[in-house]
Chain A
Amino acid sequence: NAGVMQNPRHLVRRRGQEARLRCSPMKGHSHVYWYRQLPEEGLKFMVYLQKENIIDESGMPKERFSAEFPKEGPSILRIQQVVRGDSAAYFCASLSGDRAYEQYFGPGTRLTVT
């Protein structure tokens, strides 16, 4: 049973470019959470999605960031016009919905903005 998968593992973007981060939840899991970890800081919740629905995006910056979890395919976190402050590790986590409280994390995508 494959775990949560994220790609790419490392992503380098120049200021002003777009970054697309992908997350495939564990098989059978229909809930995805995205978290961001800035250098030397704790993880912070960004957005919670179920298939085709954004449930809670209260942790997302108001501009440049968007997320989706389509019926088919991985969840995507999209950052437009990246700035240096977006450099961070982005983790996604999934849970099944029936064992609602145990979240399993993917290996993360380390975004570096130059």
Chain B
Amino acid sequence: RKEVEQDPGPFNVPEGATVAFNCTYSNSASQSFFWYRQDCRKEPKLLMSVYSSGNEDGRFTAQLNRASQYISLLIRDSKLSDSATYLCVVTSNFGNEKLTFGTGTRLTIIP
């Protein structure tokens, strides 16, 4: 079983729609949780950290459920520029923040 699992998509969504991504992780000792985005042939960029209390940054909302080992990302009012691959990422050890990546969910926003 993969440590971090995501639906690979692709998700093709009309501009202005709301889209939700889900992710599950297998290591109950995981400590920190993130969403990164990666554009084609570019480096991953940190989108947001994810907390148990949930957090929001503009049109983006992330949620963590530690009991279910489940992470979500919601994008509201999607824009063409949101087209990218979204990576669910966890770390497991204090003092060694190596990132474990999901394979990513590809999103395309359609005009």
Chain A contact residues, CB within 8 Å of chain B? 31, 33, 35, 41-45, 48, 55-56, 59, 89, 91, 93, 95, 100-108, 110
> B46 contacts which chain A residues (CB < 8 A)?
102-104
Please determine whether B43 and A91 come into contact, CB atoms closer than 8 angstroms.
yes
Could you tell me the dominant secondary structure of chain B's interface residues?
strand
Whether the Cβ atoms of A102 and B43 lie closer than 8 Å is: no
With A95-B97, A104-B46 given, can you name 8 additional A-B contacts, CB distance below 8 Å? A33-B99, A41-B103, A42-B104, A45-B100, A48-B98, A89-B41, A100-B97, A101-B91
Question: For A100, what are the chain B residues with a Cβ–Cβ distance below 8 Å?
Answer: 97
* Chain A residue with the shortest CB-CB distance to B94: A100
Q: Taking the complex as formed, is B25 at the interface, i.e. its CB lies under 8 A from any CB of chain A?
A: no
With a cutoff of 8 Å between Cβ atoms, the chain A residues found around residue B32 in the complex are: 101
A56, B43: Cβ atoms closer than 8 Å: no
Is A101's CB under 8 angstroms from B97's CB?
yes
Taking residues whose C-beta sits less than 8 angstroms from the other chain, chain B's interface range is 20 to 34
Report how far A35 CA is from B99 CA in the complex, Å: 9
Within the assembled complex, what's the spacing in Å between the Cα atoms of A104 and B99? 11
- Among A91, A101, A107, the most chain B Cβ lie within 10 Å of the Cβ of A101
A48 & B101 in contact (Cβ 8 Å cutoff):
no
CB-defined contacts of B102 to chain A, threshold 8 Å: 42
* Nearest CB in chain B: distance from A58 CB, A: 8
Q: 1/0 contact trace for B18-58 toward A, CB 8 Å?
A: 00000000000000101000000111111001000000000
Flag if A42 contacts B103 (CB, 8 Å).
yes
A-chain residues with CB within 8 Å of residue B45 when the two chains form the complex: 105
Interface string of B95-111 (1 = CB under 8 A from A): 01111111110000000
